[in-house]
Amino acid sequence: MTPEQKLTSLGLVLPELPKPVANYVSYKRAGDMLYLSGQGPRRNDGVMHTGKVGKDVTTKQAYEHAKLVGLGLLAAMRQATGDLSKVEVIKVLGMVNGVPEFTEQPAVINGCSDLFVEVLGDKGRHARSAVGMGSLPMNITVEIEAVCRILP
């Protein structure tokens, strides 16, 4: 089953790739490497999920937000390559906008990691950092960036 077929079987649709809000690009290709800019959790209507995880948002809700970000990152991968089967995820950096005492960052970023493995199989397995931040742009709950390899 191709990654696109897997998305369909899961009832998931890749969103439109959002336009950058500043002076950067959504992704940059360097040889066979693909660097994806950080994205936040965008709802279908374009509004971002905001708030502090551990206060305004639960770990479970933030997991779903990270999954939304994962869909956005998959959309960037597909736009960059034309075919998700040509992508291997190498490294993910997940940032969580949590209260100071919040310590479940890995459980939140699993929303994105689990999606990558579910859609891409072993090519979705990756090295990862999941860290807490004092704040994130526009008060979004999570931001995630990724580094991928483009397969021949």
Work out how many domains the chain is built from and give that number.
1
Residue 35: give its domain's CATH number: 3.30.1330.40
Range of the domain at 61: 27-127+144-150
**pLDDT tens, the chain, 152 aa long:** 999 999 999 999 999 988 888 899 999 999 999 999 999 999 988 899 999 999 999 999 999 999 999 999 999 999 999 999 999 999 999 999 999 999 999 999 999 999 999 999 999 999 999 999 999 999 999 999 999 999 99
Quick one: three-class SS letters along the chain? CCHHHHHHHCCCCCCCCCCCCCCCCCEEEECCEEEEEEECCECCCCCECECCECCCECHHHHHHHHHHHHHHHHHHHHHHHCCHHHEEEEEEEEEEEECCCCCCHHHHHHHHHHHHHHHHHHHHCCEEEEEEECCCHHHECEEEEEEEEECC
Residue 108 lies in a domain: yes
